[in-house]
Structure 1
Amino acid sequence: MLFGHQSQRLGPGQCRALARGGAGDAEVTPLAAAKLPAIASAQAKALRVDFAPGAESRPHSHPGPVFVVVASGAVESALDGGAVQRFKAGDAWYEAPGQLHRITRNASQTQPASLVPGCSRTARRRW
């Protein structure tokens, strides 16, 4: 279970919002959900961020909403003044526009880790 959601088996045609009816009997597991602010997103992109063992990023924020999925390894993350949380491969979290991503670091000193953030922004804001 992640973010209060459990995996659910979907029958044919029940997945139109996700795959326009092409899901068949696929198992769909919600990773993260959030009510997005009322902004017109002109662009969206997904990135892969690779952390060497022990690596970390500087504190930062994003102009638009961001969903982050851990692709491999484990990372530690803290938003605003919140507690540091540990996320492993397959886990996800949401960052609101402008929210301070205070800590992002590889939780391991010996293994690499990768994140896949999905970011959006309005046409007038820089990445």
Structure 2
Amino acid sequence: MLSLLPLTSAVAGDAKTASKVTLVYDHELPNVPGKSIRGVLVEYDPGGSNAAHTHPPSAFIYATVLEGAIRSQVNDGPEKVYKAGESWSEMPGDRHSVSANDSETAPAKLLAVFVVDTDQRELTYPLEK
């Protein structure tokens, strides 16, 4: 079974809600042996965020905001707000330092599409502080 752990972010006494993470598709790529494509829906409550994290070394990720606005920072790049219809990518080994709903009043959703080794079970690893 594939492990998709909801991520949480807590700041000294201010526990934000975890995002809801749902695997929406998982298909082996017939023309790329050993690789699969997985779609992961990430739903943020108002003010919700995820802890800093990374993904498997084999994972290439393409994320598209479906609803609302997502604040994101990859590696040491600038923090940026992506609105519905906008997207970004993460290369193998990238660190996702910030992943948060940019609104305190409206929900937000994104679809993360992973190209990853088929036998890879974990898709998200928290970063050590």
**TM-score band (shorter)?**
0.5 to 0.7
| TM-score, normalised with respect to structure 2 | 0.64
For 1:20-99, list aligned pairs within 5 A: 41-63=34-56, 64-99=59-94
Q: Share of identical aligned residues, percent?
A: 29
Q: Show the counterpart of 2:106.
A: 111
Q: CA shift at 1:60, angstroms?
A: 1.0
The structure with the larger Rg is 1
**Structure with greater strand share of residues:** 2
Of the candidates 102, 113, 118, which is equivalent to residue 123 of structure 1?
Answer: 118
Structure 1 residues 60 and 40, CA gap change in structure 2 (3 angstroms): farther
> What is the CA–CA distance in structure 1 between the aligned matches of 2:78 and 2:121, rounded to whole Å?
29
**How large is the Cα RMSD of the aligned pairs?**
1.5
Q: Is the CA contact (8 Å cut-off) linking 1:78 and 1:103 kept in structure 2?
A: yes
| TM-score, normalised with respect to structure 1 | 0.65
Q: For this pair of structures, how many residues does the alignment match?
A: 89
> What is the CA–CA distance in structure 2 between the aligned matches of 1:93 and 1:40, rounded to whole Å?
26
Paired amino acid for 2:72: S
> What is the CA–CA distance in structure 2 between the aligned matches of 1:67 and 1:79, rounded to whole Å?
12
Paired amino acid for 1:43: S
